[in-house]
Chain A
């Protein structure tokens, strides 16, 4: 399967802990996006990379959130000092510049 791969698929963590999600984009896709989706809502943009450069960050991305894409391949999204409001599905997507954006299956985060 050569789709967008996300790990872990589910994560339950205690409030205040740090969590990290990994995304492996479709091979050779140079753009990688992170979105957040809560129940009953559409995906909300968080940040995106073109190759290894982080080009845009949403105001939704607080200081507790950090994303990296070393070497322009896989990406990680870390959430520090998690809060209950961080509970959501974190979606990764990739594209070849101006072509179709493909989403992964998402990583569910539950903060208890």
Chain B
């Protein structure tokens, strides 16, 4: 049973375009939703995170949109750059910082 479903599996975006990655969850106890970025051969690095008390969080070119009623959240990368090409993972955890549950990842390729 996959607790966090991520889509699409892969994404190709033109340089300067908007990359959108979606995640859906089932466990209503989840209260922390981070996105991680992973380059080949490296460990995941935290990109941005949100808690359910807000519907949107923006940090630079990265924005998380959160829809509590739909149990969905998404990552938007504005003005996508070739350096953004990586695999992105959404994740979720319950109160008390229980271990993160990850989605299966989205491989993003930004082409010039």
Contact = CB atoms under 8 A, between A and B. Distances in A.
Contacts of B103: 42
Contact of A45 (B45, B49, B100): B100
Nearest to A98: B97
Interface of A is mostly: loop
Interface stretch (A66-74, A79-87, A102-110): A102-110
A10 B67 CA distance: 41
Interface residues of B, number: 22
B43 A42 contact: no
A100 interface: yes
A101 B105 contact: no
Please classify how large the interface on chain A is, using the bins under 10, 10 to 19, 20 to 34, 35 or more: 20 to 34
Contacts of B34: 100-101
The 6 A-B residue pairs with the shortest CB-CB distance, nearest first, are A42-B102, A103-B43, A98-B97, A45-B99, A105-B43, A103-B44
B104 A41 contact: yes
14 contacts: A42-B102, A42-B105, A45-B99, A45-B101, A56-B98, A56-B99, A93-B43, A100-B49, A101-B46, A101-B97, A101-B100, A102-B46, A103-B44, A106-B42
A11 to B, nearest CB: 15
Nearest to B36: A103
Nearest to B49: A100
A95 B46 CA distance: 12
B89 interface: yes
Nearest to B99: A45
Contacts of A105: 41-43
